[in-house]
Amino acid sequence: MFDRQEILKIVAERHGIIVSGDDPILSVLAVSDVIYDQQSIKFIEQVHAISQSNSKRMAQQILAMQRHIHENSEKQNQHNQRIFEGIFSAALKDWERQNSNAIKSLDTKINEFRKTKNLTVFTLIIMLFLVGFLAIIALTKGL
């Protein structure tokens, strides 16, 4: 709403016209006040409607972005899982290879030990046989 006294003062200063408070021209000001009030209400309603529309659109965009982020997150998780599985699989194969090599090496050492043990036992048997043979010879010569 317009301040009538302020308007009368501005008209007098700018145009040099003195208008009284009961001048019929002020009825235009009253009509203008009514139009201004109505237009203000319509403008506020439109701003409110646009704001609600923008809020809905923004909410939809946020939901779409959240879905997109979730989908990308799932894809990234699957990708990371495939990478982890590849790394784990390679590490497991490497461990199995190393374990197999260690078992083969251990088997080789065990077989070598058995051969050495068998050779030692064989050598011991031959020595005992020779000692026994020499003892029999010594006994037969001494008898």
How many whole angstroms separate alpha carbon 10 and alpha carbon 3?
11
- CB under 8 A, 24+ apart: contacts of 121-127: none
pLDDT digits (tens, 9 = 90+) for 56-112: 999 999 999 999 998 899 889 899 999 999 999 999 999 899 988 888 888 888 888
Domain ranges of the chain: 4-142
How many whole angstroms separate alpha carbon 7 and alpha carbon 36?
15
pLDDT digits (tens, 9 = 90+) for 34-61: 888 899 999 999 999 999 999 999 999 9
Rounded to a whole number of angstroms, the CA Rg of the chain reads 55
Q: State both tokens at 38.
A: 């109505």
CB 30 within 8 A of CB 2: no
How many whole angstroms separate alpha carbon 58 and alpha carbon 51?
10
How many whole angstroms separate alpha carbon 136 and alpha carbon 143?
10
- Predicted local confidence at residue 1, as pLDDT: 61
The model carries a pTM of 0.41
